[in-house]
Structure 1
């Protein structure tokens, strides 16, 4: 018997294109009902002692840890992310929940210095109903961050995972939901129209979105109409600068890790490379060798639609004069595979240098000086992250101050201490999306002035008599 499905998400394997499964798409009634349910449940959850909210989050983290391998398998099947990396992403999500479970109960306001006969203080409280729209490239870790921080601060959450990994989102919700009161955490599946309906709801207080720039801009417009807070991390066009004094082979290894990890499908992937002409020849040769190594064990892109997007950027660049040193062609095989690609002779006007390609592509531009590369790297509509490879402390200092991005990494393409929280710029979004500061984003502060009342004489007399 054939399933009768009017509105459904079909999920296909990026490895061979086979149907993995399907899930129903939420209707307008589902969206409205979930938001109103969250609105009704939120005050009771906000009144729950902060320590109890933290305990509930710890219990949810334990449940995910116990089922981490199962969740990683689903993530691998839906997105093609290698099994080991998928498990790392799940465990990163567990750690994030555990951190917020500890940080939430100690999130505090402050007292103010007013007149001696009064008390003045600032008290943080939950914003209300939070919609969390999360991506497919690191779905568990990102979801645990946004959902965990929202829940531990007393908000109710309606979560919609990406339509590219809905089974991952559903399983994550199933592992978490029983540890919270009914209605406090809900999950809906659906395509972009479901996310748009959630963002447009007049009963939502925060829309937190990690994903594409175009979607982020539409969410910002919707929030401007409803008055909801928009918390956005919308990808970037991250540059990498290679100075004349660094080992070009080491620099090529760093560039390859930044451009090819997870098939280039990370928000902070290296998207454009500026290399000093003094080391350009050796750097390009070493980068090509790195690309060939990555191509020996390829990872698929998330789907064929993403591959078409990536190849369109590459094909346009080649047509405009870029030289493909490695890769650059759609492979003749099943699945959504695309080779690690190195493009030489790139120019700033090429789309592969102006926009987020989000694939395993390393576009290279040779520059006459570090200053020239830095100046070009600073010209961009995005503002997420950047990497600088240099042995000069002066150049490093100048670069991290000049680059108009939220995160600058010097001499390591990935890495950093835990707890860091950056604010993206321009098209890359707005607000702190990670770290302890995310608790500030998901709460609102109320100022209280507590003065002394003038007591009516009759009340004073009755008090004295009692």
Structure 2
């Protein structure tokens, strides 16, 4: 079992008077990790200590901060197998996928190490006897609350950008993956001065207490309801809220595409990481011309996925993170069936231990069903048949979320319309995943606010100061 420690004011093992939480392997229910629960007093002390460490880190030359990030990336790279194994143990992700998340995190740290020192301000055209500058400065203390579904890659993005910008960071990982957060923090801490990074563990109450502190930024990736609570807390304290929250991403399958290929894209988008991705495909609008062949192909692909523990090399579909999430997913499927949807495959809770749920394909779905209207976060592919691309575009746009969308089409006209008209932060044409490094999107509606990735994240984590500089009058 992993014995997790907190890091407060440069001291490992600090705090923990609030009790403990235990995480169980979602594949078999065995205990995996034990973590302390930070009290409100410990959270307040941690934030105060980070505030004391912040000025020294802000005054550190940008190149030195970048070099520290490179050392941290080296440490993560060397421990990639261990980081992948703890992810798999805590949340069930297949090992190969978990390791890919670590590799992505290492790459993100290196990206911010390279571009961090290059981000600067600008000069303004003022009087000839004066100098006018816009100077970016660290915001101070950044509270970072990260999710369990991709705990290394997401944390590396927010932590790397905040640290290279000169901020001190208080990190609270999800209570479902505390050991992953702890191991990541231990590796990062080897490259940083004492006090610059803080690690707090605990549940939702700990996160809420942290968001209520006098920090300068609260960066959160997770559920929409939590993000809205954080935004309300930031309105009270004056902190900047940086939120990447839930999504219900649509996939549009146009009438001119190969249905076999489209089914492969849909299966990848809906079933990767057992559907536990913010940008998973959660709604499929398929043109009637290809709907029959598409559904048949998608059903075959769902049936072919090998379900099992993430630690087994042959596993393609691991368990959901816990039975509470499985009950939520199954409840949405059952409600859809009660309202007229048809199960093509899956849709049943398997016997045995763990929190497994099969890849599920639903047809006959309507926009009023919770499985389309809300975020599911499981391996469920609800399919809606439409008569035209216009109908697909219109129905895909009806959502309280605005994270991402994918369109499979051979029509450049349809692709351009989708890029222009879909009310989301990211539009992908003919690929459910992928994209160039450094892409930065602003989620919309219930999916959050602010840049969560790319070079623009550095701007979110710094504040611009205008400086007007004149020489003293003659004779002084």
The correspondence for 1:165, drawn from 158, 162, 177, is 177
| Distance (whole Å) between structure 2 residues aligned to residue 133 and residue 104 of structure 1 | 22
Q: What is the CA–CA distance in structure 2 between the aligned matches of 1:17 and 1:319, rounded to whole Å?
A: 31
Matched, 1:307 2:326: yes
Determine whether 1:113 maps to 2:122: no
Structure 1: 5+ residue runs without aligned partners? 460-466
Structure 1 residue 178: Cα displacement: 2.7
Q: Which residue of structure 2 lines up, in the alignment, with residue 253 of structure 1? A: 264
Within 2, Cα distance between the matches of 1:87 and 1:373? Answer: 36
Instruction: Report if the CA contact (8 A) 1:291-1:326 is conserved.
Output: yes
* 1:288-338 CA distance string (max 9 Å, x none): 101101255431011111101111111110111100010111111211100
Q: Secondary structure at the match of 1:374?
A: helix
Structure-2 separation of matches of 1:51 and 1:144: 19
Could you tell me which residue of structure 1 aligns to residue 231 of structure 2? 220
1:14 and 2:33 aligned? no
Question: Could you state the TM-score of these two structures normalised by the residue count of structure 2?
Answer: 0.94
The residue that corresponds to 1:451 in the other structure is 470
Aligned residue in 1 for 2:312: none
Contact 2:18 2:39 in 1 (8 A): no
Separation in 1, partners of 2:245, 2:451: 12
Q: Please name the residue that 2:359 is paired with.
A: 340
The superposition leaves residues 410-431 of structure 1 with CA deviations (integer Å, 9 ceiling, x where unpaired) of 0011111111000000100001
What is aligned with 2:158?
Answer: 146
Matched-pair contact (CA < 8 Å) for 2:33–2:90: no
Match of 2:382 among 331, 343, 363: 363
Q: Please give the alpha-carbon distance, in whole angstroms, between the structure 1 residues aligned to 2:299 and 2:35.
A: 42
1:235 positional shift: 2.1
Instruction: Work out whether residues 407 and 422 of structure 1, in 8 Å CA contact, stay in contact via their aligned partners in 2.
Output: yes
1:45 equivalent among 33, 54, 57:
57
1:463 corresponds to: none
Q: Superposition pairs for residues 31-430 of structure 1, below 5 Å?
A: 31-201=43-213, 203-295=214-306, 297=315, 298-430=317-449
Distance in 2 between residues matched to 1:294 and 1:235, nearest whole Å: 26
CA displacement at 1:6 relative to structure 2: 6.2
Deviation at 1:5, TM superposition (A): 8.9
Residues 93, 140 of structure 1: 8 Å contact kept: yes
Q: Deviations over 1:114-161 (max 9, x none)?
A: 111111110000001000000111111111110010011110000000
Q: For residue 89 of structure 1, report the CA deviation from its aligned partner.
A: 0.7
Cα distance in 2 between the residues matched to 1:219 and 1:232: 9
| RMSD of aligned Cα (Å) | 1.3
SS of equivalent residue, structure 1 residue 23: strand
Q: Tell me the distance in 2 between the aligned counterparts of 1:256 and 1:21.
A: 32
- Residue 113 of structure 1 deviates from its aligned partner by 0.9
* The 10-residue stretch of structure 1 (123-132 or 18-27) with the greater mean CA deviation from structure 2: 18-27
Q: Is the Cα–Cα contact under 8 Å of residues 295 and 340 in structure 1 kept in the other structure?
A: no
Q: Give the 4+ runs in structure 1 shifted more than 4 A.
A: 3-6
Q: Cα deviations across residues 216-246 of structure 1 (Å, max 9, x unaligned)?
A: 0100000011110000000211000011000
Larger Rg: 1
Separation of aligned partners in 1, 2:399 and 2:473: 61
| In structure 2, distance between residues paired with 1:286 and 1:179 | 49
In structure 1, the residue matched to 2:36 is 24
- Unaligned residue ranges in structure 2 (runs of 5+): 4-15, 308-314
Under a length normalisation based on structure 1, what TM-score does the superposition of the two structures give? 0.96
TM superposition shift of 1:71: 1.2
User: How many Å separate the matches in 1 of 2:103 and 2:409?
Assistant: 33
Report the Cα distance in structure 1 between the residues aligned to 2:139 and 2:17, rounded to whole angstroms. Answer: 37
1:74-110 Cα offsets, whole Å, 9 max, x none, are 1110011111111111111111111111111111111
Provide the rounded CA distance (Å) in 2 between the counterparts of 1:451 and 1:386. Answer: 51
What is the rounded CA distance, in whole Å, between the counterparts of 1:21 and 1:416 in structure 2?
Answer: 35
Maintained 8 Å contact 1:260/1:294: no
- Distance in 2 (alpha carbons) for counterparts of 1:159 and 1:193: 15
Shift of 1:20: 1.2
CA distance in 1: counterparts of 2:473 and 2:128, whole angstroms: 16
2:11 is matched with none
